Amino acid sequence: MRDLTELTAVQLVEGYRKGEFSPVEATRATLDRAERIQPEVNAFVRLTGEEALAQARASADRWRRGEPCGAVDGVPVTVKDILLMRGAPTLKGSRTISENGTWDEDAPSVARLREQGAVFLGKTTTPEFGWKGVTDSPLSGVTRNPHDPTRTAGGSSGGAAAAVALGAGPLALGTDGGGSVRIPAAFCGIFALKPTYGRVPLYPASAFGTLAHVGPMTRDAADAALLLDVIGAPDSRDWSALGPAAGPYTATLSGGVRGLRVAYSPSLGGQVAVQPAVAAAVRRAVERLAGLGAYVTETDPDLTDPVDAFHTLWFSGAARVTQHLGPHQREALDPGLREICGLGARMSALDYLAAVDVRMELGRRMGRFHDSYDLLVTPALPITAFEAGTEVPKGSGLHRWTGWTPFTYPFNMTQQPAASVPVGADADGLPVGLQIVAARHRDDLVLRAAHALYEAEAAGIGLPAAALAR
């Protein structure tokens, strides 16, 4: 009998359509998997088993009648505990938020999934208010890597990545303000897309402003395109949301990369020290793109590291998130978050506007860059997963998570679509991610290139840590 937890969302929907299995069977299998992996990797803050099975039974009835209500009817999905989900508290990894409340509203992406019959398995872990690139919090503890539980899953959407990697639902909603879907995707060996800003509506608005994106985290690019088609619809609650997409992303996947102009930047012009195993895996994948017909040029964008400007935007956003807290509540915060909130609170409006100037100039440079190149390819991260429970690798001399994520946060500042694609592993079996970036509004090109790599079997990491998964 087929292991339903190993199927993609596309395969599940096809199986439902053919009557090979039902949403109830798929949901029971994924719930069982989620319960098995939870003690080891800590991917969930809450499982909603009874509600999920009720949703699955309703979906099964619709499929029996031949009347599915959407493209993901009956597909199990998880929601990062930053996004509102009706009927479940959204605690954002913080002891400063009370579970008491009505919790009667869905975030736009959750609402679109609910309208199309998705089955909600539960809420996944996040660092407090999604503030850093690893996933641990005072509320829910440490989330661990599915390939090696002594290592971090990355963050801030670490629970979502671990769940997808281990078969606890093929679709996951994550958020990305500085790399937070791409970082854990790279560390856990799955696919994740940070869409163009505004492609997926967000409500309530993030205190991190227009750095914050909602994105799909999935087994492969085809599932991400399916999910983006669902969640990328406008919502009146987000005034900055884009209008409807030109057409379904699933319809453009098969376009391939032949003739695309690809810029390959292995180290952003020597600014980043990349681990040899990471560099080698990424280069092999780039060579495969060339073999598939892309015109690949090794070149670098004019991208001076904007980390100081990013810190100004990020730290001031964190200060805004916690502005209402009293002294006792502040003592309950993650110490690192408390530190950056203090820094952000001392920044002036002029500091913030100077950072915005840096951001606009960076956007201009990347816009001109994409006049010459359809895609930019880099490593997603310069390293593989390090010790769980730490913000930076031990002995690295780094202080903040931005020190080891130089490939990700610049593209939050420019609002460009960017994805992490698994392209191999290091000698310890830890996944390596390749990042694909396109000009704003060209999410279709990112998905096409990633899909071409999957089709060519360049991203062949199976379900990790079989002992944990089963």
Q: Which of the residues 22, 137, 156, 206 is marked catalytic?
A: 156
**Rounded to 5 degrees, what are φ and ψ at 137?**
-150, 160
Instruction: Dump the DSSP string for 334-379.
Output: -HHHHHHHHHHHT--HHHHHHHHHHHHHHHHHHHHHHHH-SEEEEE
Q: What is the DSSP letter of 269?
A: T
For the beta sheet containing 418-425, the strands, ordered from the edge strand earlier in sequence to the opposite edge, are: 44-47, 119-124, 76-80, 171-176, 213-218, 191-194, 418-425, 431-438, 375-379, 261-264, 295-298
Query: Is residue 180 annotated as part of the catalytic site, yes or no?
Result: yes
CA distances from 70 to 14, 74, 122, 186, 462 (A): 13, 9, 20, 30, 28
Q: Where are the beta strands (DSSP E) in 195-325?
A: 213-218, 261-264, 295-298
Pairing of strands 431-438, 375-379: antiparallel
Tell me the sheet residues that pair with 175.
Answer: 214
Q: How far apart are CA 449 and CA 292, in angstroms?
A: 10
Buried (b) or exposed (e) across 128-161, using 16+ Cβ within 10 A?
bbbbbbbbbbbbbebbbbbbbbebbbbbbbbbbb
Q: What is the DSSP letter of 195?
A: P
Query: Is residue 80 annotated as part of the catalytic site, yes or no?
Result: yes
Contact, 402 vs 178, CB < 8 A?
A: yes
Query: Is residue 396 annotated as part of the catalytic site, yes or no?
Result: no
**Rounded to 5 degrees, what are φ and ψ at 371?**
-65, -30
Q: Which two tokens stand for residue 24?
A: 């109830």
Q: Which two tokens stand for residue 82?
A: 């930053």
Which residues 6+ apart lie within 8 Å of 452 measured at CB?
256, 257, 289, 292
* Among 451, 360, 366, CA closest to 416: 366
Q: Which of the residues 80, 92, 132, 194 is marked catalytic?
A: 80
Q: Which of the residues 109, 140, 180, 265 is marked catalytic?
A: 180
Q: How far apart are CA 343 and CA 312, in angstroms?
A: 9
Token pair 């227009």 is found at 210
Which residues 6+ apart lie within 8 Å of 303 measured at CB?
268, 269, 362, 365, 366, 410
Provide the annotated active-site residues.
Answer: 80, 156, 180
